[in-house]
Amino acid sequence: MVFLPSTRHLLRAKDLVDARYREPLDVPTLARVAHLSPAHFSREFRRTFGETPHQYLLTRRLERAAAMLRNTDWAVADICLAVGLTSVGSFTTSFRRVYGVSPTAYRAAHPPLERARVPTCVLQAYARPHSSSFREDRRAAHG
């Protein structure tokens, strides 16, 4: 008999975040992909990947937003919506918390990346901010 750990299902949920962060994803949707209840899913995801699904989703969105600030001339509000966030206010707050500056200031300080021939999937994985910088999110994870 072959033992396939349930981690494989958690990975499927994590992959879904990377593929569909633009959409209104929430924990119940991700939990269904992993065949777990939302509460159990969040615990198992955190145990496996070191952060909550919500943190992973938020940092993925912020990383994508930062890349768009650098590489496009889109308005901040449009970028916020394009990465699946609905409130420009909380986007700006989260962004500032992670990158230390507002989206507008970040754009001014970071010209478009001279793209080395490194696959975008690699850039995306390495540029995602550390979720340890989320105070409000850590509270949410425990609350």
Partner 1 sequence: MLKQLTHVQVWVHDQDEALAFYTEKLGMELREDVTVPELGNFRWLSVGVPGQDDVAITLMAIPGPPVFEEETRKQILALLSKGASGGLFFSTDNAQKSYEELKSRGVEFTQEPTEQPYGIDAGFRDPSGNHFRMGQQS
Cα–Cα distance, 17 to 53 (Å, whole number): 9
Number of residues that bind partner 1 (CB under 8 A): 20
12 binds partner 1, rule: CB under 8 A: yes
- Which residue, 48 or 92, is less far from partner 1 as judged by CB? 48
Is 74 a binder of partner 1 (CB under 8 A)? no
Cα dihedral 47, 48, 50, 53, rounded to 10, equals: -90
Stretch that binds partner 1, among 59-67, 79-87, 102-110, 117-125 (CB under 8 A): 117-125
Q: Is 2 in the site for partner 1 (CB under 8 A)?
A: yes
Nearer to partner 1, 70 or 97 (CB): 70
Angle, helices 53-71 vs 7-20, to 10°: value is 30
Residue 139 CA to chain centroid, in angstroms?
Answer: 17
Q: Could you give the angle at which helices 53-71 and 120-127 cross, rounded to 10 degrees?
A: 120
* One residue of 24, 120, 126, 143 binding partner 1 per CB under 8 A: 120
What three-state secondary structure class fits 10? helix
Task: List residues near partner 1 by CB under 8 A.
Answer: 2-5, 7-8, 10-12, 14-15, 18-19, 48-49, 115, 117, 119-121
